[in-house]
Amino acid sequence: MADPEIKSYAPRQESLSAAVTESRPAKAVLMIVSFAFLGIFLLLPLIVVFNEAFAKGLSDYTEALTSPDTRSAIYLTLLVAAISVPLNIVFGVSAAWAIAKFEFKGKAFLTTLIDLPFSVSPVISGLVYVLLFGAQGLLGAWLKAHGIVILFAVPGIVLATIFVTFPFVARELIPLMQEQGNGDEEAALSLGANGWQAFWYVTLPNVKWGLLYGVLLCNARAMGEFGAVSVVSGHIRGLTNTMPLHVEILYNEYNAAAAFAVASLLAGLALVTLVLKTLLEMRYGAEIAATRGH
C-alpha cells in the first residue's frame, strides 16, 4: 500500500509542448465558444436575477423582502433546512461508516439505493409522500383519525426535503473514507480507544472538510428545493410556503420585481455556496477526496 496519494485540483501547469497542443487560432475559437456558451447559459440568467430584483429601486426591493409572507417563507426555509440537514448529516456519517469501513454482502446495492434520489424526478419524490400520507393515501385515514397532519404542513415539507437531499453527505464521505482506509482507526483501537473515541478523535478530524463540503451542497439543495416541496406543501401562504415556492407565487401573480427580490436572496445563497465550495476545494482539495461535482 502506498501513502495516500495527494490529489491536487490545480490544472496541469507544465506547458504542453507544441506538438501536443492546439494551434493558437484553434485555441482562441475553443475559448470563445466556451465563454460565449457559459456567458449565455449561466452568467446572463444570474445577472437577470439581480437586475430584475432592483429594477424598481431599492425601496421596492426591501419592501418585498420585509413583507410578512416573505418573512414567513424565509423562516420556513431556514426551519426546514435546520431539521433536514442535521438528520442527513447523521445519516450520511452513519452510512459512510458502514459502507467505507466494512465489507459486506449487498454493499453495492446499498450504495445504489443512496444515489436513488438523484435519478428520481423531484415531483415523484413529493408524489410518493402524497400517496402515503394524503387523504386518499395508504396512511391517510389513520393519520386523520389520530389528528396527525403531515401533508400540506411542515412535516411533509421536511420529509420531501430529506428525500431529495440525503445523498449529498453520504456520497461525499463514502469515497473519502474508503480512500483513507482503516489504518488510523486500527491504530486508535490498538492504543486502547473505544469505537466512539476512534470516531470522534480520529475519523471525524480526518473527514471534517469533506463533511463540510457535503453539508454545504446538502444545505444549498435543501433551501432551494422546489419540485418535491411544491407537491407536498399545498402552497398555503404564510404557512407552508418556502422561499422557492414564494418566488413562484409572486411570479405567477405578475409581481416580477418581488419574485426576483426573493430570488436574489436564493441566488445570493447559491453564490455563497459556490464561493465556499471553491475555497474548500482550493484549500483542502486533497482532504475532500476525488469526488468533485456530483
Partner 1 sequence: MTTAPAKAGWRFRQPSVIPGFGLTLGFSLAYLTLIILIPLSGLIWRSAALGWADFWAIATDRRTINALEISFGTAFFAAAVNVVFGTIVAWVLVRYSFPGRRIVDAMVDLPFALPTAVAGIALTTLYAPNGWLGSLLAPLGIKVAYTPLGIVIALIFIGLPFVVRTVQPIMEEIDKEVEEVAATLGANRFQTIARVLLPGLAPAIVTGFALAFARGVGEYGSVIFIAGNLPYKSEIAPLLIVIRLEEYNYAAATAIAAIMLALSFAMLLVINLVQTWSRKRYG
Partner 2 sequence: MEVRVANVRKEFERFPALHDVSLDIKSGELIALLGPSGSGKTTLLRLIAGLERPTKGKIFFGEEDASQKSIQERNVGFVFQHYALFRHMTVADNIGFGLKVRHGPTRPSAQEIRRRASELLDLVQLSGLEKRYPAQLSGGQRQRVALARAMAIEPAVLLLDEPFGALDAQVRRELRRWLREIHDATGHTTVFVTHDQEEALELADRVVVMSQGSIEQVGTADEIYDTPNSPFVYGFIGESSALPVKVEDGQVWIADRPIGLSAPHAPQGEATLFFRPHDVELVDECNGCIAGTVAASRRVAGTRRVELEIGGERQRVEIELPVNHPAAQKSRVAFRPRRWKLFPTA
* Cβ-count burial 136-175 (b if 16+ within 10 Å, e if not): ebeebeebeeeeeebbbbbbbbbbbbbbbbbbbbbbbbbb
Partner whose footprint covers residue 22, from partner 1, partner 2, none (CB < 5 to 8 Å by kind):
partner 1
CA neighbours within 13 Å on the CB side: how many for 19? 0
141: partner contacted, choices partner 1, partner 2, none (Cβ within 5-8 A by kind) = none
Exposed, middle or buried by CB within 10 Å (0-12, 13-18, 19+), for 18?
exposed
Q: Does 214 bind partner 1 (CB under 8 A)?
A: no
DSSP type of residue 168: H
Residue of 16, 58, 145, 146 that binds partner 1 (CB under 8 A)? 16
Q: Which stretch binds partner 2 (CB under 8 A): 116-124, 136-144, 193-201, 213-221?
A: 193-201
Angstrom distance (rounded) from CA 197 to CA 203? 9
Dihedral sign computed on CA atoms, order 231, 232, 235, 241: negative
* Binds partner 1 by CB under 8 A, chosen from 143, 150, 217, 258: 217
Work out whether 179 is an interface residue with partner 2 (CB under 8 A): no
Stretch of residues binding partner 2 (CB under 8 A), selected from 31-39, 145-153, 194-202, 235-243 = 194-202
Least Å distance between CB 78 and partner 2? 31
Which triple of cell numbers denotes residue 200?
Answer: 470522534
Using the minimum distance from each CB to partner 1, give the nearer residue, 48 or 154.
Answer: 48
13 binds partner 1 (CB under 8 A): yes
Q: Whose CA is closest to 211, among 177, 179, 180?
A: 177
The entry of partner 1, partner 2, none near residue 95 (CB within 5 to 8 angstroms by kind) is: partner 1
Candidates 2, 5, 6, 11: give the one binding partner 1 (CB under 8 A): 11
- Answer yes or no whether residue 261 interacts with partner 1 by CB under 8 A: no
Considering the rule CB under 8 A, would residue 270 count as an interface residue with partner 2? no
How many Cα neighbours within 13 Å face the side chain of 161? 31
- The residues binding partner 2 (CB under 8 A) are 1, 3, 183-184, 186-194, 197, 201-202, 205-206
